[in-house]
Structure 1
């Protein structure tokens, strides 16, 4: 497979924008910067941020054992995904493959970018139907999205199924690992050397507790990263976001403790949900949420709203009829949820 053959011709021919901070590559200590038309009066954010977010990437490199040259950071994972669309998918010509129920932004971004969508629903156990997926592939199928652990179902896909898809899909396979920090499954980041058509996306929004700063991460080959860097906005990750990310990544032990606490609370939540009479099934979860089937999802959702509790009603999603998704909260929040569920 040639990655170059998958890139849109207009992207290959593109001359990327070169910012002032891109052009100056020397040591910035004791330099007088009069190149970017910035306000010269120091306030902490009067200068443009590092366009390549080198300090953030250096910390991620230590944690993930991946070189910085195989990383791209974005304004949330949604920007990362949008860049992937724009790099590889020709509008009104190419298509993607999604496996519903799954993260809804894949289809939204496809529609925004005028890209066709081929949907192959997961089986009754929320696992990929490998043969059915590969049968849908045609000469214009550019991206295959695998969300594992999957949202909204919570399960991690079987390793062999994913391996077969990565090895047999003649396009880019995007594995969305937004919830990987809550799972015992090994990240597919470790397989980047083996599979040049693989992109793995992660985020600081979930386990790292930084949904408010909007920082998404893309891991891929240097070839793919270089393509995405050509089309990303020059200063797509702002200085405040970078500072907050650095602070959080330097406290990795605290993050790991919070993940451990969330997993313990997930077990408590599952145990208590099993005692609710109108809960008929609880699906296995490798994430920080639990999907449960109830007697009437819309009725129960509205009852919880009336009691001041907001969850997610997933009943309209394929295979999720009468299912509610519960995010694992603090012990106090989970107790309020369970007490309310029992009272209604």
Structure 2
């Protein structure tokens, strides 16, 4: 006989609408963790699930840093949420800028070994630059930095490199972030993952909200995991689109440089005003990301790989913008 659940003040009559979500979801997301553990070759105790990777980032800062006292390290240009989480929690930010080719500086491990920061965030493949950080540099930091080393692998499914989840047992201070928003195509679900030593995962579970992953999200994530065989073909199609854009964009007169990418986007430097290009693309109904204000990204826009039709439309629009620039120069 099924238990009579009268403890949580839920609506015992059911839900308004077509689905039944009248009961609170599993606060430990055990079914998803079991499937993910098999897929990733880790233990369920190594897995934390968050409302997007952003929740894991925020909780890691709150777990390790005392407000008004401690600091984190970021490596600009990089994902902005690390700094947002620090600011929200009154935690100072120490910046270790990447080199002009968007790698960690040669003395990064030495500088971090002397730092009193509690966390360093290493985004690899990096956003907005798209490239993997050199594994040897990350490993040296893992061996010398005293705090937690967070490797954000949101775009790792588009890169030809092993995940740092394969090294969790070797490095107890390693945290690996992944997400269902990119390769899995589930950005609207807001489901992120942190992989770490069981003791650290246990702390994250203690400070998270009780029901941080909704029942609907859990159901849809389980359905996606059951269809994981679709993932390789989606990856392959996006990589074909990335390769095509990487080949075609440099042929455009207004494009100065296309940076190598291990992600599902390309960072592109223009030899004309990039903000003007951004505005002109918007006027043509194409929205990209303006990264001109980021360190090392002057004149750059970040272009997500779209469908074949979207990629063709982007190239056509950039060709038109370039033609207008040529006419303007001739007129002046």
Partner of residue 215, structure 1: 191
1:281 and 2:281 equivalent? no
Q: Residues 128 and 148 from structure 1, CA distance in 2 versus in 1: closer, same or farther, beyond 3 angstroms?
A: same
Aligned pairs (5 A) from 1:2-81:
30-43=2-15, 44-81=20-57
Q: Write the deviation string for residues 39-65 of structure 1: whole angstroms up to 9, x where unpaired.
A: 112342000000000111111111101
The answer as to whether partners of 1:118 and 1:136 remain within 8 angstroms in 2 is no
Matching residue of 2:86: 110
1:93/1:140 contact within 8 Å kept: no
| 2:224 maps to which of 237, 242, 248 | 248
1:263 and 2:239 aligned: yes
Structure 1 residue runs of 5 or longer lacking an equivalent are 1-28
After superposition, residues 1-344 of structure 1 pair within 5 angstroms as: 30-43=2-15, 44-132=20-108, 134-135=110-111, 138=114, 140-295=116-271, 296-344=273-321
Q: d(CA) in 2 for partners of 1:323 and 1:178?
A: 21
> Which digits, 9 at most, give the CA deviation of each residue in 1:244-274, with x for residues without a partner?
1111111111122111100011101111101
Looking at structure 1, the residues matched to 103 and 287 of structure 2 have their Cα atoms a distance apart, in angstroms, of 28
TM-score, normalising length from structure 1?
0.90
Instruction: Tell me, in whole angstroms, the C-alpha distance in 1 between the residues paired with 2:163 and 2:196.
Output: 13
Q: Structure 2: where are the runs of 5+ without partners?
A: 322-332
More divergent stretch after superposition (77-86 vs 129-138): 129-138
Distance 2:53 2:66 in 1: 21
What TM-score, normalized to structure 2? 0.93
